[in-house]
Amino acid sequence: DKVAAFDAQDPLWRPPKGQDGTPNESAEDVLVRMRQALSICETQYYGEDVLLIGADADTLSILQAAVLGVDIRAHTRFALPPGGVRELALSTRSFDDRPRQLACPNPPSCR
């Protein structure tokens, strides 16, 4: 799909506005929104199990990539099928915060 192809090149790319003028989000915008949602959940529901339901698979695949420390341009690797469920749990292992990069699939159009 066209959006996935552009997401793979640039996490800041935004699809054109919808026919009704509604702006679309970049993968980076979605990640910011998901981080805010997780922060609210941690504050309000500390110690509780929380179920996040995404409006589409990209929202949750972007979150999954970020949690695993994978470049969000590769988020489609974590796509969920319709009705799919995945547990997101805290790890007992330390987080490897070294930067990760994907090779640009279409130079020089990548940043």
Domain boundary assignment for the chain: 1-16+23-86+96-111
Contacts of 13 (CB under 8 A, 6+ apart): 6, 7, 26, 27
pLDDT at 37: 92
User: Exposure pattern of 15-30 as b/e (b: 16+ CB <10 Å)?
Assistant: eeeeeeeeeeebbbeb
- What's the rounded Cα separation, in Å, for the pair 17 and 56? 17
Question: Which phi and psi angles does 21 have, rounded to 5°?
Answer: 90, 0
pLDDT per residue of the chain (111 residues) written in tens, 0 to 9: 777 777 787 777 877 777 776 678 889 999 999 999 999 998 999 888 888 888 777 899 999 888 888 889 999 998 888 888 888 766 666 656 665 555 666 655 665
pLDDT at 103: 64
pLDDT at 69: 84
